[in-house]
Every structure is written in structure tokens, then in C-alpha cells.
Amino acid sequence: MLFPTMKRFLRGLARLLGLFLFLALLLGFSGYLYLRASLPQGEGRIALEGLSAPVEVVRDGKGVVRIRAATLKDLFFAQGFVHAQERLWQMEFQRRVGQGRLSEILGEATLPQDRFLRTWGFYRAARAAYGRLYPEEKEAVDAYAAGVNAFLASGAPLPPEFRLLGFRPEPWTGPDVLVWAKMMSYDLSGNWEEELKRHRLLARGVSPKRLLELMPPYPEDAPTILSAEDLKLPLKREEAPSALLRMAPPRFMEASNNWVVSGSRTTTGKPFLANDPHLALQAPSLWFLMALEAPGLRAIGATLPGLPGVVIGRNERIAWGVTNVGADVEDLYLLEEVEGRGYRYKGRVVPYGVREEVIRVKGGREEVLKVRETVYGPVITDALQAPPKTPMALRWVSLDEEDHILMAFLEVNRAGNWEEFKKALLPYSAPSQNFVYADVEGNIGYIAPGKFPVRKEGHTGMVPVPGNGEWDWLGYRRPEEWPQAFNPARGYLVTANHKVTPKGFPYALTYDWAEPYRAERIEELLLAKEKLSLEDMKAIQQDQKSLLYRDFRPVLELLTPLSEGARAWRDRLLAWDGTMAPGSEEALVFALWYTELTRLPQREVGEAYWDEPRYLLKALKEGDKNCDQPETEYRESCLDYAALALERALDRKEALGARAWGEVHRARFPHAVLTHTPLKRLSDREVAFGGDRYTVNVGPFDPETLAMGHGPSYRQIVDLSDMEGSLFVHPMGQSGHFLSRHYADLLSFWRRGDYLPMRFAGEGRALLLEPGR
């Protein structure tokens, strides 16, 4: 029995808790109302200073936007306004990444990132490029920035991220637009990391010959994007004069697929063009689906919040898609320092230039970063957490003062035929992309534009070279030297980040290529039928058959299982067809087994996992010094190691408690900031997914967590016989506001392999943007 005083105490506590609960609910409801109020206006009228004529903005039932304007300037103004309506926080975060100003809003935790970004000088390069834009290009950039600023001045509530972090965004400028193009170029370039890795391996005592074994060359019998017949060029010499030059580890490359099929191979008699760039999965999505219409431009497809125009898509006459070439447009230069004076260059001592960067940190503190500059560019090793003993400077195409990549895309949006398309790409710089092309006349084509450095004979770009002036770039390749093909006899073109040019091409774009598995599988499926339909294009994009499994299956046949459980699983895997479906238990065991196999050379290379399939295959079939495990008493063969890896995989499966690949292989979509807060439940998403790094419907995963952080960031299939019957989709949704019904309503479409109609026509909510007074 409770004493009366205790009863009174509990009644008082209950009343107090009730009051707190009421206040919490009231505050929560007020917060909810604020968050709802920050959703963009999609109907009615808005008067905006800066417009010359009314602009119509229509949002369909999934939030896909169509903008119709009377002039190009008004069109890009409205695009900036709408992007800011839907994705302002994303654009602000991207801008601050490019500026190296994350610490102003996030504090000390992001100082290392800001130091790195400031050292490279992305925003400095964007400012320089802005000052050299062509007049038409500058007008588009300025109009877009003015549209963003019109939203900031409109009085609309800001997205909740700004309130949570306690700041308001500054007005947008031209360099703010251009800096995200620089960051995308950085994201799709990575040769500097490969050079640094090779340098460190050589410093560990790994010989050039052994490097060739650990990082095997691109297979001679594997497909290339272009054949000698496609190029119609004389092939002059061998690409690689020595074994070291033939190494081809593609670890930095973002994966993507595209292909185009001639009407001679389709059920419609006209081409199909398909594309799915594989980039980081995030919330909100990287892309924004949009149709743009004004006199002289009518394009639809994937746009990037922060940039004007359509990046991937179609107009009324042509369609295009892109994947990353991975061209080597970065070089590291080893500096011979002369203490207290500078570095040695062309026989003399050159003093470092010093650039001071002031990094403001939330709370009021400032840090002054002194960046050393050379004739090549910044000394980027100063910003590394574990810098090598010898300082290295970076030469990178995207740090050049002149950059007209935006002009190239704007002109592609307006191109009507192959010649106009090629001309549009003439100012293209970096990152170099595999552009596939198709038009309503039935033509298909391919071109890889970009500023490709001309290097001195013997300078491969694979390892850092002395920065003494002897290995400086000699210029850039001329556009007529770019790899290209038009209406190839075989009737299709496939790009999947694999090798572009055949043996004997006059120069090397790079020596780092993606493994050919995805390209081989796409070609298998394209050749499986005499005539291909739109449904076939969908099926290819969704294919998760693993050719990696095909290559490693013989190892399973040869190994001797170490337990009855392993023997049963070996037999199940041998009976499996290799499809990495999310509901497959075999896919789970194979993925875990392969992951254990990649641990093989960790003592030698200093990395926990070494995902080099051809090194592993050769080692398991022919033997390798790394197969003997030092923790055991006897000497293991490589097949013994494979059997041990299977046991470890089954132990890990049991520890995970999983019975299907999709239970642990989850596509994750984190919000850049809210993922670290209790609001993660509202902002983040994850879904079960299949595939692996080498399947067409790609599903790369972290070897420790098995989570998938990269994947198909956008899918499109263009039917050149019926342009309005074309398809597109991206994960998450159109809105960046996590209370919007369009925040994640496309995620189930994307996961299931469904699409939205890629069409200009359609009904929806209409918003009229009118010129202000």
C-alpha cells in the first residue's frame, strides 16, 4: 500500500509530466507547421523581379517539373528559382563543399575537409573560369544565379536545415554555380589517388614486376568500346612499352552504363538509347527531373540542382547519355625542396607561391591556412592526413583558368544532328565522358571529348614524376584526335567504364579501366536476340547476373571443403545461376566468400581488402606467396585459402543471422547532415537491393558493413521511334523537403525497376512566375 504522501507526490509528478508532454506536443506541432510551411508553392502566381515575361511552371503527379519561358534568359532564371524551391539546402551544402566552408556551419569536425578543399582551390578555379566565360554562357549562369536569389528574396520560409544549424544562405553568384561542376569533375577523377597508391606500394618494397601481378593489365581479349573498324584510324604503335605501364587497377572509378542500339537491331526500326550513371546514393537525390522549353531549346531529362540546363536526356531530335571515361587528366609531381628557398625547377630554385585561406569555424574561431603553390598547381600532399615524405604538387585540367564545360552541355541541349552534337562538345574540358548519341533519323554515335594532356614519351601518368620541368605537359589533344564513331557496322555501342580504344591507338587516354564484366554482360544480352524491344532495354538495366561468379565458379569446383556445412554450400553455389538477387541466399554466401578472398594480399599491400579479381583468380589457380597463413602451423596452398575463406564466409553469415542477400545488402540514402541527428528517421532511407560491383544493375558494397552507398543514380531509356514514350527515373524523389510527399515517392519505382514517362506533354499543378515591379 502506498502512503498518502507518496500518492500526492505521484499525482503531482503526473500533472507535471502531463504539462511537459503538452508543451512538447505544442512545440512539436509548431515545428511541424513550420516545416510544412517551408514546402514550395506549386500553384498560383508569384511576382519576381528579374523576369522579362511570364514563365509557366507545371509539376506533374510525381513532382516532375516542366518550365516554359519566352526567352532563354527567363528559362534559366526560372530553373534556378525552381531548383531553389525544391533543393535549396542541397544546393547550399554543395556550394559550401566547393568553397571549403563547411566548418562555418558544422564546426571543428569538418576542418580537415575544409583544409583539403581549400588546398585544392576549387572555388578559386571557379572564380577564374567565371571571368572567362563566353557571353552566352555567362548570361545563362547569371540568369540561373538570379533565379536562386529571387527565391531567397521571395520571403518563402527556408528549409528546416537552415533553422537547425542557425544560419541564412548568402546570395548566389556566378562562381557558386560553376563550383559544383568542379566538384563533379573531382568526383569523377581519381588518377592522383592511384598514382599515390602506386608510389606508396613501391616505397613498401613492392617491385614493378610484382605490382603488375597485384594490379593486372586490362585483358587483351576483353571488349573495348571502339574497334579499329569503328575508329577508321591507322593504329600506329603499342600502347604500353613496358610491363609497369600496362597496370590497370580501376579502384577510383565511379561505375556507369550506357548503350545505344541501331534501328537495324530493334523491333521499332529506330534506335534505343539507355543510360544509368552510378554515383553516390543520397537524400535528397543527386538529380532533378525537368523539362525546359524556350525558343531554340526544348530538352528534358536529368538536371543537377545548382547548374542550368539538362545534363542527360533528349530533345525533339536527338538523345544522349554519359558514362565516365576515367581519362588521366591529373598528374603528381615530386618536388625537390631547397630548404628555406623553394623547389628546384628547370635548373633553378623557384620560391613557392603562398596563398592564404581564412577558414572560419562555428563559434567564432578562425584558422589561417597557408597553401603552397607551384608552377604545376597546389602542393596537395600538405593537406593529407598521412603525407608522404616527398611533397607533391598537382597538375589537373579542372584547375585551368578557362573551363567551358557548361557551354558544351547547353549547346548539346540544342543540337539537332550528329554534326551539331559534335560541334557542341568542342569546348568540353573535364571530366571526360563517354557520350552515346542517337537521333530520329536513325543514326547512332559515340564520342569522348575532353582536354587530354599530351605527355612526353616515357611519362605514362601512372606514378608521380619529378617536378623539375622535364615531365611537363606539352599541351592537349586536338578535337579531331578524340575517340569517336558514327553508325558502326555492328549496330550498337556499349560503354561501361571499360577500355575505350583498341590496341594500337595512337595515344593512351589512361591505363586505369574498369573491369569488363558489365560491358561483357550488356553485350551478351544485346546479342541474345535478333531484334530488341523497349522491354529488353528495361531488362538489361535490371540485370543482376554476376559474371564474377562465372569466373570464380571453377575455384569452387577445385577446392576441398573443410566441413560438411561448407560442402553443402559449395554444392548449392555450383548449382546456382549467379544472379545476385536481393532474395537469394546463394548471392549472400558468394558475396561473403568473395569478400574473404579479397583479404588475400593484405599483409603485402597494407590494405584490408584488395578487390582485384584477375590477381585473385591467377593466385587461386596458379599459386601465390600470400596464400600461406602465418597464424597456422602448416603451409596452405591457394585452394586451401579458398576453402578457409568459405568457412569464414559461413561463420560471418551465421553471425549476421541473414538468410538473403538483401537483408544485409541495403541501398542507403543518407542526408548529408540530418543523418547524424534524431531527425535521421525522417530524412534517411534504405531498401534491400541486389547486385554487386560487377553486375549491370550495379550494387557495390562496403566489405565491412555490406551496405551499398553507390548505385544507379538515374536511369533513362529513350525510344527514338516514339520520343514521348521514353522513360526515366531516379531514386528518392523530386523534393528535398523531408515532409513533402515527393521526398521519397520514387524510391519504390527505382527499386522495382519501374519508370516514369519522359515526356513534355502532361497535366499537373501550374505555377505562373510573373515579372515583378
Q: What is the per-residue pLDDT across 618-657, written as a single tens digit (0 to 9) for each? A: 999 999 999 987 777 777 899 999 999 999 999 999 999 9
Q: Categorise residue 413: left if φ over 0, alpha if ψ from -120 to 50, beta otherwise.
A: alpha
Q: What is the per-residue pLDDT across 564-580, written as a single tens digit (0 to 9) for each? A: 999 999 999 999 999 99
DSSP 70: S
**What cell does 410 get?**
547547353
Residue 709 within any structural domain of the chain: no
Does 356 share its domain with 247?
no
Give the pLDDT band (50/70/90) at residue 235.
very low
Does 435 share its domain with 373?
no
Does 410 share its domain with 287?
yes
Residue 241 within any structural domain of the chain: yes
* pLDDT for 36: 61
Residue 507 within any structural domain of the chain: yes
Region 251-258: mean pLDDT is 68
User: What does the DSSP assignment read for 591-618?
Assistant: HHHHHHHTTTTHHHHS-S----HHHHHH
Instruction: Choose one of 624, 643, 659: the last residue of a domain.
Output: 659
Q: What is the per-residue pLDDT across 377-418, written as a single tens digit (0 to 9) for each? A: 999 999 998 888 899 999 999 999 999 999 999 999 999 999
Query: How many Å apart are CA 496 and CA 505, to the nearest integer?
Result: 19
Query: How many Å apart are CA 395 and CA 402, to the nearest integer?
Result: 14
Give percent above pLDDT 70 in the chain.
92
Q: Which of 251-265, 283-297, 329-343, 518-532 has the least mean pLDDT?
A: 251-265
Residue 560 within any structural domain of the chain: yes
pTM comes to 0.93
**723: pLDDT strictly greater than 50:** yes
List the catalytic residue out of 256, 285, 398, 584: 256
* pLDDT for 220: 86
**541: pLDDT strictly greater than 60:** yes
Taking Cα atoms as reference points, which of 575, 597, 579 lies closest to residue 696?
579
C-alpha angle 36-40-45 in degrees, rounded to nearest 5: 125
Does 280 share its domain with 340?
no
Does 403 share its domain with 344?
no
Query: How many Å apart are CA 127 and CA 226, to the nearest integer?
Result: 37
**306: pLDDT strictly greater than 60:** yes
CATH code, 127:
1.10.439.10
Give the pLDDT band (50/70/90) at residue 7.
very low
Residue 285 designated active-site: no
Does 322 share its domain with 337?
no
**Binding positions for Ca(2+):** 195, 328, 331
* pLDDT for 255: 72
Does 67 share its domain with 183?
yes
Region 748-761: mean pLDDT is 97
**246: pLDDT strictly greater than 60:** no
Helix (H, G, I), strand (E, B) or coil at 708: strand
Does 486 share its domain with 509?
yes
* pLDDT for 243: 34
CATH code, 356:
2.30.120.10
397 touches 429 (CB < 8 A): yes
Task: Measure CA 275 to chain center.
Answer: 14
* pLDDT for 28: 53
Does 311 share its domain with 236?
yes
Q: Which of 139-153, 231-245, 727-741 has the least mean pLDDT?
A: 231-245
Give the pLDDT band (50/70/90) at residue 768.
very high
Give the pLDDT band (50/70/90) at residue 686.
very high
Q: Which neighbouring-strand residues pair with 710?
A: 280
Ramachandran angles phi, psi of 66, nearest 5°: -120, 125
Query: How many Å apart are CA 130 and CA 140, to the nearest integer?
Result: 12
Total tally of structural domains belonging to the chain: 4
Residue 410 within any structural domain of the chain: yes
Does 300 share its domain with 347?
no
Does 125 share its domain with 254?
no
Give the pLDDT band (50/70/90) at residue 232.
low
Task: Verify cis geometry, omega within 30 degrees of 0, for the bond prior to 431.
Answer: yes
Residue 414 within any structural domain of the chain: yes
Q: What is the per-residue pLDDT across 25-80, written as a single tens digit (0 to 9) for each? A: 444 545 555 566 679 999 999 999 999 999 999 999 999 999 999 999 999 999 99
444 vs 3, higher pLDDT = 444
* pLDDT for 234: 47
Region 119-124: mean pLDDT is 98
Residue 352 belongs to what H/E stretch?
none
Question: What's the distance, Cα to Cα, between the start and end of the chain in Å?
Answer: 76
Q: How far lies 415's CA from each of 139, 260, 425, in Å?
A: 19, 18, 10
Q: What is the per-residue pLDDT across 165-217, written as a single tens digit (0 to 9) for each? A: 999 999 999 999 999 999 999 999 888 998 998 888 988 999 989 988 998 88
Give percent above pLDDT 90 in the chain.
84
Taking Cα atoms as reference points, which of 749, 767, 769, 728 lies closest to residue 321?
728
CB atoms within 10 A of CB 669: 24
* pLDDT for 144: 99
Residue 559 within any structural domain of the chain: yes
Domain that residue 465 falls in: 219-328+399-541
C-alpha angle 500-501-507 in degrees, rounded to nearest 5: 115
* pLDDT for 750: 99
Instruction: Choose one of 164, 187, 210: the last residue of a domain.
Output: 187
Q: What is the per-residue pLDDT across 161-176, written as a single tens digit (0 to 9) for each? A: 999 999 999 999 999 9
Give the pLDDT band (50/70/90) at residue 372.
very high
549 touches 629 (CB < 8 A): no
Average pLDDT of the chain is: 92
User: What does the DSSP assignment read for 102-115?
Assistant: SHHHH-GGGHHHHH
Cell 581519362: give the residue: 327
Residue 643 within any structural domain of the chain: yes
Helix (H, G, I), strand (E, B) or coil at 587: helix
Ramachandran angles phi, psi of 2, nearest 5°: -85, 140
Q: Which of 160-164, 244-248, 613-617 has the least mean pLDDT?
A: 244-248
Does 589 share its domain with 651?
yes
Q: What is the per-residue pLDDT across 481-503, written as a single tens digit (0 to 9) for each? A: 999 999 999 999 999 999 999 98
C-alpha angle 110-116-120 in degrees, rounded to nearest 5: 145
CATH code, 628:
1.10.1400
Instruction: Choose one of 345, 375, 398: the last residue of a domain.
Output: 398
DSSP 219: P
Region 668-679: mean pLDDT is 94
Cell 597557408: give the residue: 370
* pLDDT for 228: 81
341 vs 361, higher pLDDT = 361
511 vs 68, higher pLDDT = 68
